Chains A and B, each alone.
Chain A
């Protein structure tokens, strides 16, 4: 046996080295595997097209709806949102976009032309054309989609945020 590095030392070093390589080759991917959901960008926000501007006459409430798909792992949940667009003047910025989800318990309200009000089928809540509470239990006016724009093709888009 010559030198200070014996056969036994070599085996020990080789075992530690190979073990370390296997450990790292498994350990690093394992950490990536565990934290993977945290590294994903959530596609919750974005511009959603709803109606063509030319299809919305002045002063008239026009209904629209759109569906958002939420993907969690292998589960896809689609939620449909609906509302009404009201153009107040020729200016495309002068628009009111209401969410037809009742602020009381979340039923969908419908515009009744004869009553000139949004009526909620669940508890007979009434909202005005502008969304103000006229009657019933809702705690606040109808929600509005505040962020909207008209794109080059003349389509009204609104900015959707989750929640």
Chain B
């Protein structure tokens, strides 16, 4: 019965070919340092899922943001768990992504033919930092407010364009409801969309070129 259902699906979807090529592909001899890319992907998925769940109760408005998070933490069943994972997962993701980059650098895995994978990885790092920066404001408490005040001021210190950048980030000269709303939009729509797209290309390139192997003595 199951075998028949599987064969019916397999004939139409061709999942085995997908599995063989994506998950059962040959890997060079490696160690735990080679798993950090997968760890980053796992954290991205976890952050995405917990983030989606947080938006069920979170309200991005100066009137409600703080209270809605207090409610998630104290009023909703398992709200503390969902937000806790999102909160700590965010820091962990920055660390893992950074160590992943260090490993690629140290093993020189960014060289031909993987330069593009490296460049896209830089994009992924910047987007991940952007996620951290925009997500930090959302609780709308003192720490969030002043961190964003300072962060946008630093961006505003760019010569000539500074004032424009500052206003574009804040949605005006001051931190306001507009800032919170656009940080929220960036945090849940724009940056994740960018991340998902670049992750797709990053993974495609890894599967196309295979993982880099450590050079032997003769190479």
Contact = CB atoms under 8 A, between A and B. Distances in A.
Interface of A: 26, 29-30, 32-34, 36-37, 39, 73-75
A22 to B, nearest CB: 9
B63 to A, nearest CB: 10
Contact of B71 (A26, A30, A74): A74
Interface of B: 46, 49, 53, 56-57, 64, 67-68, 70-71, 75-79, 81-82, 85
Majority SS at the chain A contact face: helix
A33 B77 contact: yes
- The listed residue with most A CB atoms (<10 A of its CB), out of B46, B49, B81, B85, is B81
A33 B71 contact: no
Contacts of B77: 29, 32-33, 36, 39
A30 B70 contact: no
Nearest to A8: B24
8 contacts: A30-B78, A30-B82, A33-B76, A33-B82, A36-B76, A39-B77, A74-B64, A74-B70
B145 to A, nearest CB: 19
B53 A30 contact: yes
Nearest to A15: B23
Majority SS at the chain B contact face: helix
Nearest to B71: A74
B53 A74 contact: no
Contact of B49 (A26, A32, A37, A39): A26
Contacts of A75: 67
A34 B71 contact: no
A154 B102 CA distance: 78
A41 to B, nearest CB: 14
- The listed residue with most B CB atoms (<10 A of its CB), out of A34, A39, A74, is A74
Contact of B78 (A33, A37, A39): A33
A52 B164 CA distance: 67
A75 B75 CA distance: 12
Given A34-B53, A34-B56, A74-B64, A29 B78 contact: yes
A101 to B, nearest CB: 29
A32 B78 contact: yes
A32 B70 CA distance: 18
Contacts of B79: 33, 36
A34 B82 CA distance: 11
Contact of B57 (A26, A30, A73): A73
A55 B117 CA distance: 84
Nearest to B78: A29
Given A73-B75, A74-B75, A33 B53 contact: yes
Nearest to A33: B78
Contacts of B76: 33, 36-37
B205 to A, nearest CB: 24
A39 B75 CA distance: 12
A30 B49 CA distance: 10
Contacts of A32: 77-78
A139 B76 CA distance: 43
Contacts of B56: 33-34
A41 B78 CA distance: 18
A76 B82 CA distance: 24
- The listed residue with most B CB atoms (<10 A of its CB), out of A32, A33, A37, A75, is A33
Nearest to B69: A74
Contacts of B53: 30, 33-34
